Structure 1
Amino acid sequence: MIITEDDEEEISELRKNLFNEFEMKDLGLLKYFLGIEVLRSKRGIFMNQGKYILDLLAEAGMVECKPADTPIVQNHGQQIREGAKLTDRGRYQRLVGKLIYLSHTRPDISYVVGVVSQFMHSPQEDHWEAALRIVRYLKGTTEHGLLFEKHGHLEIHGFTDADWAGNPNDRRSTTGYFTFVGGNLVTWRSKKQKVIALSSAEAEFRGIKSGLTEILWLKRLMTELSLHSSHPCRMFCDNKAYQKIQSNMIELSTWKWIDTL
């Protein structure tokens, strides 16, 4: 059990009540929990899954493998190919399941894990090789993780992007976003869109919608926790078409009407 609170007296009282009700032992400050390591310093709190990665390398027999510079090749084109050789589904699902858990502290593999997760029902040899490349990338980045520092503010902002028709099988786009609170990365996601976008602007617009939804949820959560910020929330994107739509209220109203059909 993890207890978090900014009031030491409240923690002591809760701990006392738990000890009276259950047989429990106080292990002190959180250091390791379900494969996640927590390190503290004057700079802040650092979380990573280095030991979990080493265990994964040992289980996959890749302790001596050559590290990869990137988790996936550019323009990978991963898809289900007719007549391609299948790989062991159980083995593939176990490996990808572990990679999904690793992505809790590794946003840099979130996208590629989402890619290989699409083939869990019928993995092929190419998909297995793509999953192993992620493992080889992790071999060279075992010390990567998340650092939480104090920046003196609680500003919320996010970044969003989308690839148009990136999936070769169904031509659907993939949305990606990540959000910061107080200068620290707190949430991120990479997911295929539910419908087929007819243009790059539409794909980006849907991606921005997902990012804004996340920011509004964070804003409401912080309000419930009595954490208030005077700074406006900000969303960043690099799509010129969307920026022009946003700057022209007539075009924006037309887009909203089309989007609700």
Structure 2
Amino acid sequence: MDINNAFLHGDLNEEVYMVLPPGFQTEKLNQVCKLTRSLYGLKQASRQWNAKLTATLLQVGFKQSSADPSLFTRGTGTEFIALLVYVDDILMASSKLSLIQELKDLMHAAFKIKDLGVFGYFLGMEATISSSGLNLCQRKYALEILEDAGFLHCKPVRTPMTPGVLLTHTDGIPLSDPSSYRRLIGRLLYLTATRLDITFVVHHLSQFVSTPTDKHMIAAHRILRYIKGSPGQGVFYPTNNKLKLQAFSDSDWASCSETRRSVTGFCAFLGTSLISWCSKKQATVSKSSSEAEYRALAMTTCELQWLNSLLQDMQVTTTEPIIIFCDSKSAMAIAENHVFHERTKHIEIDCHVVRERIVQGLINCYLCPRLTK
């Protein structure tokens, strides 16, 4: 559902004055308006609307998630209902339609809502619900990107990036108008919400938004040609699925030729459903491949810890340790060894969250053998 004029519902907790609108006649000169409610354009408007919505939901028994403040839940078992908020767009889920209708009536009485019906399109994401599961994609959004860039009728390619090519800031000639590149990369970043196959290359190209060149733009155009081959590709979540977390962690040691930093990559599954993925350059330089793998393992552990907290808010309890598959024996040895030695004493303390979670029984590390050609 959508809230009508959401920002107008916020109550101001401070004195805010506004210049009179053009054409408004008054007896005295230099008069101003004192606002008692928020208006669109005020810096306080979004915060005050969020506070008003949160207070309303808490009053009717909802609990705000500590892992994700935009998630609200209420009830248990068959009486469970979840509500996800993005500014004034709201998504509700429950096994009982009566609970959803009751909440809609309550929200309409408080704010005046627009009922958009069954989940089909939300924030650029298209959903197809069937007895076998839920399919999410961004086909309409992808086609809009192709149309705006003039690639709607281009020839598709099979890979989003030329294999073995890693760009630098000095490659090519700087663009005379970098705004088109920045806009394209920004739109592609949102497309990675359902397209993990372009995550690495999009994040790689996002490093050059400050000073893009013609070679960077050519690489971005290759992504568009790749998307043209399958604009409706997305992720599928089957109905019959085990609610068990597991993840795969990896790193590419010193792959950045300019900074010599490594790249962390991980993907997390709930049963057989892919629910989280990441490709990100590490914040510091790793002295060895073992250290790079261990940093990737620490980042994966933090993500799993957050996902576990989110599942608990959704009343999904995990009794067994979460499994992380890693292809580095040395990184696993660092995680399981409680004695600091010369090779590990320089690593920041926050990386050793892996050890702590293994001791607590939250995660277990298993060796994932490397694939050989």
Normalising by the residue count of structure 2, what TM-score does the alignment of the two structures yield?
0.65
1:10 counterpart = 2:99: yes
Aligned pair partner of 2:252 in 163, 182, 195: 163
Instruction: Rate the CA distance shift 1:35–1:225 in 2: closer, same or farther, 3 A.
Output: closer
Spell out the pairing of 1:48-87 with structure 2 (5 A cutoff): 48-81=137-170, 84-87=172-175
Cα distance, 1:244 vs. partner?
Answer: 4.6
Instruction: Rate the CA distance shift 1:211–1:69 in 2: closer, same or farther, 3 A.
Output: same
Q: Is the 8 A contact 1:151 1:182 kept in 2?
A: no
Aligned pair partner of 2:186 in 97, 103, 114: 97
Structure 2 CA distance, aligned partners of 1:198 and 1:38?
A: 45
Q: Is the 8 A contact 2:246 2:322 kept in 1?
A: yes
**Residue in structure 2 matched with residue 190 of structure 1 by the alignment:** 279
**Residue in structure 2 matched with residue 109 of structure 1 by the alignment:** 198
Q: Is the 8 A contact 1:151 1:183 kept in 2?
A: no
- CA-to-partner distance for each residue in 1:89-135, whole Å, 9 max, x for gaps? 10000100110010011111111110010000000111111111111
* Structure 1 stretches lacking a partner, 5+ long: none
SS of alignment partner, residue 12 of structure 1: helix
SS of alignment partner, residue 53 of structure 1: helix
SS of alignment partner, residue 147 of structure 2: helix
Spell out the pairing of 1:190-229 with structure 2 (5 A cutoff): 190-229=279-318
Instruction: Compute the RMSD of aligned alpha carbons.
Output: 1.9
Cα distance, 1:245 vs. partner?
Answer: 4.2
* Structure 2 stretches lacking a partner, 5+ long: 1-89, 350-373
Q: Is the 8 A contact 2:241 2:272 kept in 1?
A: no
Aligned pair partner of 1:140 in 195, 218, 229: 229
Structure 1 CA distance, aligned partners of 2:122 and 2:160?
A: 26
**Residue in structure 1 matched with residue 347 of structure 2 by the alignment:** 259
Relative to its length, the structure with more strand (as a share) is 2
Q: Is the 8 A contact 1:155 1:232 kept in 2?
A: no
Normalising by the residue count of structure 1, what TM-score does the alignment of the two structures yield?
0.92
* Aligned positions, number: 258
1:125 counterpart = 2:125: no
1:33 counterpart = 2:118: no
SS of alignment partner, residue 159 of structure 1: strand
**Residue in structure 1 matched with residue 369 of structure 2 by the alignment:** none
Letter of the structure 2 residue corresponding to residue 257 of structure 1: K
Letter of the structure 2 residue corresponding to residue 147 of structure 1: F
SS of alignment partner, residue 312 of structure 2: helix
Structure 2 CA distance, aligned partners of 1:151 and 1:234?
A: 20
Structure 1 CA distance, aligned partners of 2:131 and 2:215?
A: 45
Instruction: Rate the CA distance shift 1:80–1:225 in 2: closer, same or farther, 3 A.
Output: same
Cα distance, 1:9 vs. partner?
Answer: 3.2
Relative to its length, the structure with more helix (as a share) is 1
- CA-to-partner distance for each residue in 1:9-56, whole Å, 9 max, x for gaps? 331221011222333332221111222110012210000011111111
Q: Which has the higher contact order (CA 8 A, sep 6+)?
A: 1
1:172 counterpart = 2:172: no
SS of alignment partner, residue 4 of structure 1: strand
Q: Percent identity?
A: 35
Instruction: Rate the CA distance shift 1:90–1:201 in 2: closer, same or farther, 3 A.
Output: same
SS of alignment partner, residue 3 of structure 1: strand
